[in-house]
A = this chain, B = another copy of it.
Amino acid sequence: MDVMKDFEISVYGLGVMGSSLAKNLISKGFRTALFGKSQEERERFHAQGEFTVFSSEEEMIKSLKRPRVIFMMVTAGSVVDCVIDGFVPFLDEGDILIDGGNSHFKDTQRRCHTLLEKGIQFLGVGVSGGEKGALMGPSMMVGGSEKAWKSCGHILEKMAAKMGEEYCCSYLGKEGAGHYVKMVHNGIEYALIQLIADIYSVMKKGLCLSRQEITEIFTRWKGTELNSYLIDITAGVLAKNDIDGKPLVEKILDVAQQKGTGSWTLEEAIARGVYVPTICEAVFARYFSVDQQLRKDGSQVLKATTKPMILENYEEKLKDALYLGMIVSYAQGVALIKKASEDCGWEIDLPLAVSLWREGCIIRSELLKDITKALKESDKNILLSQSFGNLGRREEALREISAKTIEAGVAAPTFLSVISYYDSCRTEKMNVNIVQALRDCFGAHTYERTDVKGSFHTLWMEGEK
């Protein structure tokens, strides 16, 4: 084989995402070395441009100019370590390994450190946008070696989606910062999707709208402040008929699948003490869906005294409530990133991180422009920003819909979580003084006071010694 030399970058792994990213690179004019582990993978790969598909890791590495840049797109987990171990003997000081999979940020952190000891620069890159994003330009959240970013960041930027003249790709911080932001992106994605599903329930079961009416509403929303990829595809998904002409969504089993990133987001929220109730309800909705028998039994046994849902001007109110729900979902995610960045010393530029989601990724939305603006003005919780126009009208709609949803007996847990979050943020004085008093009463755990510093213990019960 007459092997071209001086390839600028290589892509390891030619699965759905890997081959799309490779085609993306080649189409942007980068001379690209590829590695496919099976003959089938290698033969399936077609593109227009300068590239070679290798069947030997060593040959692929030797074909690269220095510092070598290798973009790995393999399944997250132990496979990544195996692949890295295979590369290391052939790499030289200053070479760059990039992990574009959905790796856990703690794995990325570990790999950064162990590879740096060997003189190898590591980048953990969160890539969002699915197959089409990978091909046309994904959103890319980069973390790890800043030196590596300076050396090869221009290549990653050119792969990425663009919002106007800005690349939806940037370096966010050392170690696992990029994969962390991607993880939270996915947590927000869970929340937005479940909000859409819950508002669908409100429309269908609460307001008794037809599939046709619901589809038309989502279609009209595409042209409003709700404008976003997820609203867009919801309109498309609802419109889709099965071969018998009936709505396809109605034939889909109501048992949801998930990969790990939603649960990882919750684990992180717990570890860092960040309140993310909407992400929580969204992740648990998928878990809960698995137990069909419980729900079947429950629908027989559990009574409900309900009222029909009457909601004047419902299309506008539903839009307002959903809009506020989206803001609150982003607010929870951003608060988590902020806390992790502080805890880990990543110094993530929050408006920059959020701005990377404006194009290319699943949660891209019109709203993210305002959120980026809000975060540039202040790093306070974005729900408190004045950047969103009339939040008051939206709050009113959310409150009315939440209350009426309960009265109608329609389960819409994400909406209740949004109003809980909103009202919790409004509560200057919380009721946990009662919690503190009870804990001190039964466990002598002590409490703090509003008027004097220190820890106090009281004998609360009469006759107590």
Interface residue? A155 (CB, 8 A): no
Min Cβ gap A166→B in Å is 23
Asked if A118 CB lies within 8 Å of chain B CBs, one says no
Main secondary structure of the interface of A (DSSP, over half): helix
Q: Does A267 contact B (CB under 8 A)?
A: yes
Complex contact A406–B406 (CB within 8 A): yes
Task: Name the B residues within 8 Å of A150 (CB-CB).
Answer: none
Query: Closest B-chain residue to A422, C-beta based?
Result: B302
Contacts of A294 in B (CB 8 A): 380-381, 384, 425
**In the complex the two chains form, is B444's CB within 8 Å of A131's CB?**
yes
Q: Closest CB-CB distance, A330 to chain B, in whole Å? A: 16
* Contact A200–B253 (Cβ < 8 Å): no
Bound CA–CA A422/B416 (angstroms): 13
**Residue A402 at the chain B interface, CB threshold 8 Å:** yes
* A196 touches B (CB below 8 Å): yes
Residue of B nearest to A201 (CB): B431
Interface residues on A, range: 35 or more
Highest count of chain B CB atoms <10 Å: which of A252, A280, A396: A252
Q: Answer yes or no: A95 CB below 8 A from chain B CBs.
A: no
List, sorted by A's number, 22 A–B pairs whose CB atoms are closer than 8 Å: A193-B439, A197-B435, A230-B438, A236-B461, A240-B458, A240-B460, A249-B437, A255-B436, A270-B270, A275-B287, A285-B432, A286-B435, A288-B424, A294-B380, A294-B381, A294-B425, A301-B384, A302-B395, A305-B392, A362-B442, A406-B419, A410-B423
**Further pairs besides A240-B460, A254-B431, A306-B399: 14, Cβ < 8 Å:** A234-B438, A253-B449, A254-B436, A255-B432, A257-B439, A267-B270, A275-B284, A285-B430, A289-B430, A302-B425, A304-B399, A403-B403, A409-B426, A411-B427
